[in-house]
Amino acid sequence: MANKRARPDLATTSGLVGLYVVIVLATLVALTVLAATAPDLATPEAWGHAVVVAVFAVLLPLRLRVARRGSRRALTAVGVIAVVLALVNLVEAFLPAFPGWMRAEMVVVAALMAAVGVLVTRARGRATMAG
């Protein structure tokens, strides 16, 4: 059919986004436990960061779901969100305001999101070439 949108293969991207969601949930659980047991490791900055990334952990899978149905705009949104998350997490990982454990988590998230950005860029390139 001529008007059927091409559906990009985003299985690996979906797996990485799923891993991101798991990391964010684990971070929120860790902050909750640390707030009770070691409050100096659950700083207000850490909570602020965790809340922001939790919002993206809701938004990113929603946009990815639409992208998997063939929406180029949603695919672009996934790529933009991933690149912004990668850059912000990388920059924040070097700020002393965050506890060491969270700075390590930020580096992992930055790497995951950079990989998502690369995969989305490739998928957009293939979609452009295909149609």
Per-residue pLDDT of 82-126, as tens digits, reads: 999 999 999 999 999 999 999 999 999 999 999 999 999 998 877
CA distance linking residue 36 with residue 41, whole number of Å: 10
CA distance linking residue 21 with residue 124, whole number of Å: 23
CA distance linking residue 108 with residue 28, whole number of Å: 15
Question: Nearest-CA neighbor of 118 among 24, 16, 20?
Answer: 16
- Taken as a whole, the chain contains a residue count of 131
Whether 124 contacts 90, CB under 8 Å = no
Residue 42: its H or E element: none
Q: What pLDDT, on a 0 to 100 scale, did the predictor assign at position 4?
A: 43
Q: Which of the pair, 129 or 87, is modelled with greater confidence?
A: 87
104 is written with which tokens? 């390590």
Q: State the pLDDT confidence band at 131, using cuts at 50, 70 and 90.
A: low
pTM: 0.88
How many CB atoms sit inside 10 A of residue 43's CB?
17
Rg (CA), the chain: 17
